């Protein structure tokens, strides 16, 4: 047991293979020799317009997804952010040491505030402060995330440093751990895989559904006809082969593509088979867990309980240092 690990994903419903490759696989790899805490960050999810009625279902689906992908609750804590009120409490204290100018520089904030320009709220600006609180509440030292989160992690370190300077050494400066799949391309070939852009394959899709989505997915835009030689490096689908196919299969596909020996459909068929094979056990566990909501609830309750114990201790320390403890 060494450095504590913390990470989180927003509850957008069933997880997709971008979440799986970009985050969850790395989490599972860390379970053996780290104390790990994995969070479903529902309070982050409400910083942009959302549908309250479906929130509990999305949280449930995210939890089922974690478990189905092998995040083993016997070896880590899995919990829902809003079940541990200390996250928002610590975020408030961190608000008082975070320069507004730093937050206005965050690219995610700039993107989201452009996208939702009529709904720019304090929560959206303060999003990275809550994220810093998530991590530092548990004094985590390692944060496995996609590369799009590195700016938020830098802010987390800024907050830790500033707090430590003002109130004495309290928090570690956590390091970002970007896994082997820092960015998984979406099926549209334009953006990273995401739920909102509907360019994803979910972890519980059947072989037929996987094929249906892949068959219409964007490939190398320069390869217009079957007889055109393609450029695997420029192809969205080829980039997915990196995660699901063997080196020999990849070499064969790359060679076939470059020489127009194989067409895009053939390349996609192999990928579809490989994805379906890897997802089969996940889908099976997913369906089983979905039918056992009480077991899932128990995992989340136990996780929250464990986290509250650590959180209370940190808050005592923080409040004491800030002169807020009677
Ligand atoms: N902002 C992260 C994302 O969108 C989610 C997140 C919230 C997170 N709090 C966190 C990730 C703490 C790691 C650690 O992916």
Give the closest residue (by CA) to ligand 1 atom 3: 9
Give the closest residue (by CA) to ligand 1 atom 11: 8
Count CB atoms within 10 A of the CB of residue 241: 21
Mean pLDDT of 200-228: 94
Given ligand 1 and candidates 39, 87, 148, which is best to mutate, with the most ligand atoms within 8 Å of its CB? 39
In this structure, of 134-138, 143-147, 149-153, 320-324, the range with the lowest mean pLDDT score is 143-147
Q: Which atom of ligand 1 is nearest to the CA of 140?
A: 14
Give the pLDDT confidence of 265-280 residue by residue, as tens digits: 999 999 999 999 999 9
Q: Give the pair of three-digit tokens for residue 105.
A: 């520089």
Length of the chain: 326
What does pTM read for this prediction? 0.93
- Whether 112 lines ligand 1, by a CB cut-off of 6 Å, is no
Active site residues: 112, 192, 195
What's the CA-to-centroid distance between 224 and ligand 1, angstroms? 39
Mean pLDDT of 172-197: 90
Question: What percent of the chain stands above pLDDT 70?
Answer: 99
Q: Is the pLDDT of residue 307 over 80?
A: yes
Given ligand 1 and candidates 18, 27, 41, which is best to mutate, with the most ligand atoms within 8 Å of its CB? 41
Name which of 69, 59, 11 is nearest 282 in CA terms.
69
What is the overall mean pLDDT for the chain?
95
Which pLDDT value is given to residue 2?
67
Q: Give the pair of three-digit tokens for residue 122.
A: 């304090």
């Amino acid at each position: 047991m060494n450095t504590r690990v913390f990470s989180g994903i927003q509850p957008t419903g069933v997880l997709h293979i971008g979440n799986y490759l970009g985050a969850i696989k790395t989490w599972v790899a860390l379970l053996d020799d780290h104390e790990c805490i994995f969070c479903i960050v529902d309070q982050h999810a409400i910083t942009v317009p959302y549908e309250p009625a479906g929130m509990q279902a999305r949280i449930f689906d995210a939890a089922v997804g974690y478990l189905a992908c092998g995040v083993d609750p016997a070896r880590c804590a899995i919990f829902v952010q809003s079940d541990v009120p200390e996250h928002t409490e610590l975020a408030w204290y961190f608000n008082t040491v975070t320069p507004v100018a730093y937050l206005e520089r965050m690219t995610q904030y700039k993107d989201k505030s452009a996208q939702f320009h009529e709904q720019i709220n304090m929560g959206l600006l303060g999003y990275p402060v809550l994220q810093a609180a998530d991590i530092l509440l548990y004094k985590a030292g390692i944060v496995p995330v996609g590369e799009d989160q590195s700016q938020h992690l830098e802010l987390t370190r800024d907050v830790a440093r500033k707090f430590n300077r003002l109130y004495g050494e309290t928090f570690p400066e956590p390091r970002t751990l970007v896994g082997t799949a820092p960015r998984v391309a979406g099926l549209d070939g334009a953006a990273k895989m995401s739920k909102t852009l509907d360019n994803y394959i979910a972890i519980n899709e059947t072989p037929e559904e996987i094929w249906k989505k892949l068959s219409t997915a964007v490939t190398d835009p320069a390869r217009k006809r079957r007889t055109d030689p393609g450029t695997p490096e420029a192809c969205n689908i080829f980039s997915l082969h990196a995660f699901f196919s063997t080196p020999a299969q990849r070499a064969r596909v790359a060679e076939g593509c470059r020489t127009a020996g194989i067409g895009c459909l053939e390349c996609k068929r192999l990928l579809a088979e490989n994805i379906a094979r890897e997802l089969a056990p996940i889908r099976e566990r997913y369906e089983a867990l979905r039918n056992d909501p009480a077991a899932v609830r128990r995992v989340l309750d136990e996780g929250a309980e464990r986290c509250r114990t650590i959180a209370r201790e940190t808050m005592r320390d923080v409040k004491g240092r800030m002169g807020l403890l009677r």
